Amino acid sequence: MIPYAFRNQIIFASLAVVGLFSASCGDEPAPHVDMKSGPSISQSPITTDGALSGAAIPTKRAGQISGRVFLEGTGSLASRKLSVTKDVDVCGRTDKFALDLLLGPENGIGNAVVYLESAPDGHNETPSTSERQLDQNECVYDPHVLLVPAGATLNIKNSDGILHNIHTYSLLNPAFNTAQPKFKKFISKTFTTPEIIKVTCDVHDWMTAWIVVHDHPHYAVTNPNGAFQLSGVPPGNHTVRIWHESLGEQARSITVAPSQTTTADFGFPRSG
């Protein structure tokens, strides 16, 4: 079963995508799945958030789960270019594309969240609470999907030197709607409860990001090829969940052997 927090928030997030996505599209809306491209990010497999931040591996016999998240079927999908309608001298320096379905080679899906449904039994490891950063650079949130441990400080940076307005949509953490003028380089926030939070900018309506608040270290975000890796996973049976802002979610039971790598690929059906 999906955790109560995520079950409610995913319902909310789905409604938010339907109700608010048209405001972030720029021009006319495109088919739900007909979206990809955007700024390139690291091509290497994205490892467990806890491992990246220095969280201790719970046991020397721990294994790992690695694989890909991909769009089923053949053929590429058209990119959808967004219209820059404000602060063009800053926001229009580069073309802007929708990031709600970022596809790489062989239709790998970037920006999918892969995680263990719950912390393994008998292990109380927690993710590092080192600071995280969400940047606003040329009127794009970077990264598009950001993992933030519960209790960690999130620094929201304004690299553009223009007015932005950060607007979050959440149920379990206090939502905020805060202006960030050009003279205010950073705004700091802390989230205490796991959930998936949509972020928009009320000044530039094409800007969208997602903050994934979590309370254990076994989380990862796929790279543009759809690759992921969860490290330091104790041996045993685990439920692995995949969440994607446009395609929904999946869950699967996976057995991890001691000191071994278990491979698991997740395919999402192509709609339309």
Q: What is the reported pLDDT for 28?
A: 36
- CATH number for the domain spanning 204: value is 2.60.40.420
Contact between 115 and 100 (Cβ < 8 Å): no
| 32, pLDDT greater than 50 | no
Asked whether residue 95 is assigned to any structural domain, the reply reads yes
Q: Tell me the pLDDT tens digit for each residue of 40-69.
A: 333 445 555 643 333 444 566 899 999 999
Is 87 within a domain? yes
Which whole number is the average pLDDT over 136-161? 97
Domain count, the chain: 1
Say whether pLDDT at 235 is over 50. yes
- Write the pLDDT tens digit of every residue in 186-196: 999 999 999 99
DSSP string across the chain:
---HHHHHHHHHHHHHHHHHGGGGSSSS---TT-----S----SPBPPHHHHTTPPPS-TT-EEEEEEEEE-SSS-----EEP--S-HHHHTSS-EE--SSEE-GGGBEET-EEEESSPPTT---------EEEEE-SS-EESSEEEEETTPEEEEEE-SSS-EEEEEE-SSS---EEEE-TT--EEEEE--S-EEEEEEESSSTT-EEEEEEESSS-EEE--TT-EEEEEEEPSEEEEEEEEETTTEEEEEEEEE-TT-EEE--EEEPPP-
Residue 75 lies in a domain: yes
The region that residue 61 occupies, defined by phi over 0 for left and psi between -120 and 50 for alpha, beta otherwise, is: alpha
pLDDT of residue 121: 75
Range of the domain at 63: 4-253
261 is a domain residue: no
pLDDT in tens, 167-212: 999 999 999 999 999 999 999 999 999 999 999 999 999 999 999 9
In the predicted model, what is the mean pLDDT of the chain?
82
**What pLDDT was estimated at residue 105?**
86
pLDDT for 239 beyond 80: yes
